[in-house]
Structure 1
Amino acid sequence: MTVSDRTPVLVGAATAAQRFDDPSKASEAVALMAQALVAAADDAGAGRLLGRLDQVRVTKGTWGYSDPARWVAEAVGATRARSHLADVGILQTAVMGDAAAAIASGTADVVAVVGGEAKHRALRASITGKDAPDTDQGGVEPDELVTPQGMIISRAEIDKGLVMATHHYAMIENARRFADGQTIEEHRAEVSNLWARFAQVAAANPDAWFRDGLDAAAIATPANGNRMLAWPYTKWHNSQWNVDQAGALIFCSAGTARALGVPANRWVFPWAAAESNHVVAVTERPELHRSPGFAHAGRALADHTGVAPNEMDHVDLYSCFPIAVRTQALELGIDIAGERSPTVTGGMTWAGGPLNNYVIQAAVKLAQVLRADPGSTGLLTSISGMITKQGVSAWSTEPPSQPFANLDVTRTVAGELRPKPYRVGEGEGEGEQATVVSYTVIWGREGPERAVVIGEFADGARTLLVSSIPTVMAAAVAGEFCGRFVVAAGDGSFMPID
């Protein structure tokens, strides 16, 4: 097949990492990003790509840089590149899709997508008391700042203290267990066995942050530093972001790749990307364990590429928590219990979960896997928020059967996924009975602190209720709470009905 000159192709992919106990020896995040970008050009076998960069796109991290793409561009000699910053809440597959689309349209010819964190460095600075400052850019602004629309967490959830992703994902996980009709023991075994499979993949991945290969029992048991965070999740069910990791991808047109002599065996084609940005807070979702956005994005991807998500040869499902993987598998029709692994990296718990950059790390690994298996296909997914926004993308070393496309199914999803009403204000529903839609018990370092339930009144309205009564918290982890009835109190607390 003849590949047109404007076809976007990924030609360079690389990571950078460090692990120093002494933070003064460690580079800051933006320097790691520059290292990864230089390594990506080396991976393509064409260092001249850096001087040809039209755009450098960076995904926002926990750091405070105002225009990191400019710093990275200057560090690698890309003096004419425009700087882009994608804020948290923008799907990472969308950043890659926008890069490919810019090349396909002729707006740009060579584009870098970069991200990274140095939170291990910051953690070590806190522990050792040594100074490890980040570069102060003096308030400069990027050429383009891409910001999301809609609140990932509702005002009501914030007011109830549900501000951590662990809390929300734990409630989605518990809702899935109830929907599947599993016992607590069956569910614990399934989730921990899944995460143990991820740990084994990470153990074989030289770029993974944790390579210990913990087994299911160690993951499930709250002991040896593996404390409970939000029931049923322990620390080792959670994404670990205290890592020093960066990743970089270099996209260019096929014509430029030919002109610069990039070997054809380095080429990986983005076939298409699909996304939904319809925002519905967890508390207001009709079915917490479902994600119509992934279902519609998967179908759009299949319609365009001719290959369904469950037919892809290699898969990396976004893996901040077990339920994220399980929900994607449910909606995309992927058998995660079969021989094909749902991850090429080992996932965000074990391979490392640098905030807003994991998908770039995974894209690097997926490119390596596809190059080693010529002609195969790959699926790469992303999530923003609490499975709030959904992204899927298809890749291969084979050219696409039709031009690259960015597919947006947001309007379709919005027509299907309509939020439940929510009662706002203390005292509403006082003395009224509600059915538990889902729940979790949130732990502090000294033990359980509060049980939180999403309740639904007889009229269909939702509410959030909290209890810090020890016997209530104990009952919530001892047996199934979903489907039970509770009575709402005027102060926003609840009591279960025996």
Structure 2
Amino acid sequence: MADLTPIIIGVGEASERIDAPDYAALSPADLAGRAAQAALDDAKAQRPLAPELDLIAAIRQFEISGPKAIAPFGCSNNFPRSVAKRIDANPKRAILEPVGGQGPQHLVNELSQKIAQGEVGMALICGSEAISTIRHLMGKGESRDWAETVEGDLEDRGYGVDSLLDRDLASHGARAPIQVYALFENARRGKAGLDRAAYGLEMGRLFAPFTQVAHGNPHAMSQEVFSAEELAAVTPKNRLVADPFPRRMVARDQANQGAAVLLTSVEKARAMGVPEDRWVYLHGGADTVERTPLDRVDMAAYPAAALASRKALEVAGVAVKDIALFDLYSCFPVAVFDVRDDLGVAADDPRPLTVTGGLPFFGGAGNNYSMHAIASMVRGLRATPGAYGFVGANGGFLSKYSVGVYSTQRAEWKGFDSKALQAEIDGWTPPTTAPAEALSGTVETYTIDYGREQPAGILVCRTAANERFVAAVEDPALVQKMIEQEPLGAAVTCTRDDKGRRLAVSLGA
């Protein structure tokens, strides 16, 4: 092997549940520090590795993921260096990655390239969330002091949330992922020609095997096994949160989890005495950024993820049939459906689509979930030498997709970049936006948001000229009609309110 071939040599995870006997209400930095130490230990090196780190990169917690985000108990001024301090490391560089669940895989792709070019000798990637602990302590009226000031440089890459969401969607009530993904999901339902009950069961069939994987994962926040029918059934414990999603179909953000990945070169691993049975190679990768939701011709599809997935497999020189282990980002069913279908994996394929249990069951550790997926993937591939694994990591509103193809099988570093893929995506022709005077059309997709004091609807519509527009449904009688009748394909007439928004005033065949 070439000396500068990049490899993963260690992975680590840390977690705690609020009902566990040893619950310690760890801060995000403490959870990430424990995971980082576990990754160093996992390498089984003959020499100390922490002093050899010359770069540490961290994923943002939700509480530092926007200019208006609030950290209730305070936070570090330099999160990656707070983690480095906990493992007695003092790397030359510290990076704080932009927002998005693609971040962990994107960093593996980027830093592998830097290692292969000789720019980085050894790098640690880490992240964590303590959302469950924050809510638990605040619910009891308790507080903690998690503020830290750490000296040292920080390469803060910014939030990276600009241009992810259309203002028109946000102004009509689709601001959060659950509302926007519900629009994607119902667009897919319409494309599949399924009614609500049939599609609910399809989502349940997708996620039921995930619960079985989570059941055997010691770091999973929920280890309860559910059938497809139980996941689809709307009950007081599985209430609708946004049509078509019951609570158990969406990412579980109440998690206390940290994970870390340790990368270096073959040359460095040998020098540090890391056994070769710890080595896992990145055979291929890709990173793409999708258009904003309303600029996509088909709101049921994720073509940027398809391009990234195919490119990563091409670079790796393997086909989908050669992949033994998958982890497809699973914040909502549509994120899995789209990539699974683009890859040509059949619904009845026996290969699990997660190695962790997925975000609704393992836990949606903010932007850091896929760090756990990579950690589980590395352990799974070490247990099946020569097999191939595929990690697909998603960020934003089906906005950013990063892919990695892994194996213990030796592979000379080929290098890759995604500039050509991104140029293709940027060149796609967007759909036509309806003019301001357009006030009627048919429903392309919709959701009903049950998270408000009163349920409200959000519509994406097409005019007779096939121009797209957004409307809100706030009249309780019309919302009830949406609940009782099929909104997809329904005719809609709107008016304008004093804020310039379109409000539906009639809805029907």
> 1:62 & 1:232 partners in 2: Cα distance?
25
| Aligned AA (1:266) | R
> 1:32 & 1:310 partners in 2: Cα distance?
37
Alignment of 1:189-338 (within 5 A): 189-278=201-290, 280-338=291-349
The aligned counterpart of 1:363 is 374
Displacement of 1:206 in angstroms is 1.8
Q: Deviations for 1:37-64, whole angstroms, at most 9, x for unmatched residues?
A: 1111111112612110010000111234
Listed as ranges, the gaps of 5+ residues in structure 1 are: none
> 2:6 & 2:447 partners in 1: Cα distance?
45
Displacement of 1:410 in angstroms is 1.1
> 2:488 & 2:18 partners in 1: Cα distance?
45
| Aligned AA (1:437) | E
Alignment of 1:305-454 (within 5 A): 305-408=316-419, 409-416=421-428, 418-423=429-434, 428-430=437-439, 433-444=440-451, 449-454=455-460
Q: State yes or no: 1:468 paired with 2:474.
A: yes
> 2:58 & 2:239 partners in 1: Cα distance?
34
> 2:149 & 2:168 partners in 1: Cα distance?
36
- Worse-superposed segment, 220-229 or 34-43: 220-229
Q: State yes or no: 1:16 paired with 2:1.
A: no
Percent identity over the alignment is 27
The aligned counterpart of 2:463 is 457
Displacement of 1:291 in angstroms is 1.4
| Aligned AA (1:48) | P
Q: Deviations for 1:333-378, whole angstroms, at most 9, x for unmatched residues?
A: 2224310111111100101111110000110000010000000000
Q: Deviations for 1:55-101, whole angstroms, at most 9, x for unmatched residues?
A: 00001112343321111112212123311000204732211111111
| Aligned AA (1:493) | L
Displacement of 1:401 in angstroms is 5.0
Q: Deviations for 1:144-191, whole angstroms, at most 9, x for unmatched residues?
A: 535537421111112112111111111111111111112222211111
| Aligned AA (1:429) | A
Give the direction of change, closer, same or farther, for the CA distance of 1:435–1:130 in structure 2 (3 Å limit): same
Displacement of 1:274 in angstroms is 0.5
The aligned counterpart of 2:70 is none
The aligned counterpart of 2:138 is 126
> 1:240 & 1:450 partners in 2: Cα distance?
23
Displacement of 1:419 in angstroms is 2.5
| Aligned AA (1:125) | L
Q: State yes or no: 1:188 paired with 2:200.
A: yes
Alignment of 1:77-92 (within 5 A): 77-89=88-100, 91-92=102-103
> 2:424 & 2:59 partners in 1: Cα distance?
27
> 2:151 & 2:184 partners in 1: Cα distance?
39
The aligned counterpart of 1:41 is 40
Displacement of 1:407 in angstroms is 3.2
Displacement of 1:403 in angstroms is 2.3
Give the direction of change, closer, same or farther, for the CA distance of 1:78–1:138 in structure 2 (3 Å limit): closer
8 Å contact kept, 1:85–1:144: yes
The aligned counterpart of 1:174 is 186
Give the direction of change, closer, same or farther, for the CA distance of 1:479–1:308 in structure 2 (3 Å limit): farther
Corresponding residue pairs, total: 489
> 1:301 & 1:109 partners in 2: Cα distance?
24
8 Å contact kept, 1:484–1:497: yes
TM-score (norm 1): 0.93
RMSD of aligned C-alpha atoms?
2.1
The aligned counterpart of 1:156 is 168
> 1:241 & 1:482 partners in 2: Cα distance?
30
The aligned counterpart of 2:50 is 50
8 Å contact kept, 1:156–1:424: no
Q: Secondary structure at the match of 2:496?
A: coil
Displacement of 1:303 in angstroms is 2.3
8 Å contact kept, 2:284–2:314: no
> 1:440 & 1:140 partners in 2: Cα distance?
46
| Aligned AA (1:255) | E
Q: Deviations for 1:103-141, whole angstroms, at most 9, x for unmatched residues?
A: 111001100010100111101111111112322438976
> 1:113 & 1:79 partners in 2: Cα distance?
14
Q: State yes or no: 1:32 paired with 2:31.
A: yes
Of 477, 491, 503, which aligns to 1:493? Answer: 503
| Aligned AA (1:444) | G
8 Å contact kept, 1:87–1:148: yes
8 Å contact kept, 1:310–1:335: no
Q: Deviations for 1:245-285, whole angstroms, at most 9, x for unmatched residues?
A: 0000000000111111111111110112101124x222332
Displacement of 1:470 in angstroms is 3.4
Give the direction of change, closer, same or farther, for the CA distance of 1:20–1:464 in structure 2 (3 Å limit): same
TM-score (norm 2): 0.91
8 Å contact kept, 1:429–1:489: no
> 1:255 & 1:140 partners in 2: Cα distance?
28
8 Å contact kept, 1:314–1:340: yes
Listed as ranges, the gaps of 5+ residues in structure 2 are: 65-75
Q: Secondary structure at the match of 1:99?
A: helix
Displacement of 1:222 in angstroms is 2.7
The aligned counterpart of 2:73 is none
